[in-house]
Copies of this chain bind each other. A is one copy, B any other.
Amino acid sequence: MHFELTEELVERVELLVEEQKDKELQALLKEYHYADIAEILDELNLEEAIYVIKLLDSETTSDVLMELDEDNREKVLKNLSAKEIAEEVEELDTDDAADMIAELPEERQQEVIEKIEDEEHKEEIKELLAYDEDTAGGLMAKELVKVYETWTVAGCLRRIRGQAEEVTRVHSIYVVTKDEKLIGRLSLKDLIVAKNDQKIADIYISNVDSVTVDEDAEEVAKVMAKYDLEAIPVVDENKTLLGRITIDDIVDVLKEEAEKDYQLAAGITGDVDSDDSIIELTKARLPWLFLGLIGGIGAFLIMEGFEEAFKGEALILFFFTPLIAAMAGNVGVQSSAIIVQGLANDEVKGSVNSRLIKEMLLAALNGLILAIFLFFFVWAAKGEINTAFAISVSLVAVIIIAGLIGTFVPLFLDKRGIDPAIATGPFITTSNDILGILLYFWIAKMILGI
């Protein structure tokens, strides 16, 4: 029922491009939503994609461009003149327009901006370009519907017809004082339900959520998700209405955030995806692997240090090193993931101490169950009750320490203002590996009295 990108469709488009059957191609693509056309273009090579883009009408082109994969958009824009880009920009809402321009190289940005004919649009885009992309200002659009508190419902309906035509979707109508300060909101529904001669001042809802222009994008997402808002007005420190953010942009923020955290947990930095080049993927992955290598060398040095002690009879202790390292790593990742998620959802309240005590009990319980199993395995396999005891006791200790580190590190990073998501994954695995192995050898050596 929904659009599905098939190889047949891509091939059909490629064939039409090759044979330059423009009319047929236009007729075919007319059937599809711009987001679908972007998916098709992402599968074509650059020349084909540009051929198709030049064939589309200007409004569709701009929407398609915004939906293209970022790398592909960059390539396509390189092949368009500043004038052509400016024409696309004119079709876009100010937030998308500013995003598209921001992706261009510095000197091209100026060129494109100068070529924008609509002066108001140009000024608004310039204003938006000044905000950091990870703030409310970077997310907001200038398009919104606002009314003055002194208007009547009838006058209001008449006048907002003009404003509304420019705005893709009207969520809320913002009510401002004569000096543009945000004082409330109205929904179109309220306006329709109200009587024609009522004053806006009498019917507006003064309780309006807003965010300030420099607020963090993630914070805006949290507020909108929590209060189920579909749009939120953006104001400056004097409550002057500057723009509005809509929920579809927030959906994108949430998705990107989730992907970033997921990748960090897997030891991948920088927003890469499976279609990126090998060099880019290597840049995102190699540093974490290198960290793992350093950790492995650390483990080697520790094992070498215990070589004399465990040579001969106790050699078997070495053979449990991967087990201990794996358990330390796994427990650390589990604990840190729970804390990172709790922090993201503002669920981690109460003192750090109570967190650590809870994690200690949890780790002790898990560790005990696993250690009992391991004890009987080693005892049955090797018949050495002392060794079995030493390994099992170490396992419990290692799991408890790993759990505590997994809990403490993200809390510590968060307090320091560092993204705690960095703590899950290779960082915690590596440090827990080394510490776990060291602890294991040390406890085993003590218990066995070697």
Residues of A within 8 A of B (CB): 1-2, 5, 33, 35, 43, 157, 160-161, 164-165, 167, 169-170, 187-189, 192-193, 211-212, 219, 223-228, 230, 247-248, 250-252, 254-255, 258-259, 261-263, 265-268, 272-275, 278, 281-282, 285-286, 288-290, 292-293, 295-297, 299-300, 303-304, 307, 311, 315-316, 318-327, 329-331, 333-334, 336-339, 341-342, 345-349, 355, 358, 361-362, 365-366, 369-370, 373-374, 377, 399, 424-426, 429-430, 433, 437
Contact = CB atoms under 8 A, between A and B. Distances in A.
19 contacts: A2-B223, A5-B346, A157-B192, A164-B189, A169-B189, A169-B230, A258-B261, A263-B338, A278-B361, A282-B365, A286-B370, A288-B330, A293-B323, A295-B323, A296-B324, A304-B316, A304-B319, A307-B315, A321-B321
Contact of A326 (B315, B325, B424): B325
B290 A370 contact: yes
A43 B273 CA distance: 40
Nearest to A320: B300
A337 B377 CA distance: 33
A92 to B, nearest CB: 13
Given A366-B289, A374-B293, A424 B255 contact: no
A289 B331 contact: yes
B161 A187 contact: no
B327 A296 contact: yes
A199 B401 CA distance: 72
A411 to B, nearest CB: 11
A77 to B, nearest CB: 21
Contacts of A325: 322, 325-326
Given A247-B251, A292-B326, A330-B429, A266 B267 contact: no
Contacts of A160: 192
A119 B230 CA distance: 31
A346 B189 CA distance: 37
Nearest to A223: B2
